[in-house]
Amino acid sequence: MSFELSKEQLMIQKMARDFARKELAPLAAERDEKHLYPADSLKKMGELGLLGMLVSEKYGGEDMGTVSYALALSEIAAACASTAVIMSVHNSICCGSIEKFGTEEQKQEFLVPMTAGEIIGAFALTEPEAGSDAQAIECSAAKQGDHYLINGTKRFITSGKNGGVTILLARTKPEGSDAITAFLITPDMPGFKVDKVEDKMGQCASDTVDLVFTDCKVPVSRVLGEEGKGFTVAMSGLDAGRIGIASLSLGLAQAAMDEAVKYAKQRKQFGQPIANFQGLQWMLADMAIDIEAARLLVLNAAAMKDRGENCTMAASMAKCFASEMANRVTGHAVQIHGGYGYIKEYPVERFYRDARILTIYEGTNQIQRHVIARELLKKGK
């Protein structure tokens, strides 16, 4: 087995790292504190090809592959987790779903400007009474001639306020496997409203909102895929989405460990750097082991996807382990900083807050374990 990255992958990784350190890192703390959406940075990311990494060149994308995407997303996350989650949802679920299921007209209308960073994508599945149980959504879409009337509320939608297009899942039948349909929603549609903006623990520069639909009139031409195939649309993007969050987790943890190592070498107690103490060295060693294990899980899932293999189990493993790893590593980083880790002057405080959501969104880790067990039991047949 070869774990060596290609020259192209290394070049993409370096490009993303240079951009993240120069453009994102200096602004990350202020954006977090003031809840400033990184619109200017996202535009630059579009120009660099970071917002169409998995899209074919026909629609303005770079078609770089999932491994390159995971490498780039990790570098963005190391500088700003808020920007990274916007990038993940946009690339993994939104662009991927539109390219796979959209009509040619939909791809030209949405995918081309999305890859350029002119509009950002959002994905609206979660509702007040439907999260992990995706089949329980109540948002309805009633067909009336050449349009649908959509009614309902979506909750915790990343980029819901600033997104130029939202993939919405709504119920077009009371029940059945074909009861859900996907729609492409734009902010100019009558009956569409951005409601509550959440005041979050972390990743504060990304907007997370409620979307309310009141007789929202959506043309039939905005159905993504076919009526009744919405659940297929939703599930198809989850593997890439989970690899995205795993990559985000990896980058955030790496940044936390780098800060911990730097601080441990500088901070002195009892007349010597605290890096000399065995107890702290073992914490750093555990962090490094965790990060390397997560890195291999992430790159394995990404490589499987690039080869066209079924990567559902691998993606869930990577997301589950990497997100929990990031929580452990950022916690250790705060501990190594001592009291300084608890104040905003040091970035590990932000890293710690940013990490907490990783085990929750893109499918809770309880759901990931369900997916892993289900796939494992299939193999036993």
183 strand-pairing partners: 168, 223
The yes-or-no answer on residue 362 being catalytic is: yes
Using alpha carbons only, give the angle 343, 345, 350 rounded to the nearest 5 degrees.
70
Phi and psi dihedrals of 151, rounded to 5? -135, 135
Pairing of strands 165-171, 121-124: parallel
Using alpha carbons only, give the angle 29, 243, 138 rounded to the nearest 5 degrees.
90
Separation CA 294–CA 322 (nearest Å):
5
Tokens of 150: 């959509």
Direct distance between the N- and C-terminal alpha carbons of the chain, in angstroms, rounded to an integer: 28
Are the C-beta atoms of residues 337 and 260 closer than 8 Å to each other? yes
Are the C-beta atoms of residues 173 and 155 closer than 8 Å to each other? no
Residue type present at position 51: L
| Residue 114 CB contacts under 8 Å (≥ 6 apart), including other chains | 51, 52, 55, 90, 94, 95, 98, 120, 121, 164, 165
Separation CA 124–CA 66 (nearest Å):
23
Say how many C-beta atoms besides its own lie within 10 A of residue 295's C-beta: 22
211 strand-pairing partners: 154, 194
Tokens of 30: 């202020």
Catalytic residue, chosen from 23, 62, 99, 362, is 362
Which positions are annotated as active-site residues? 362
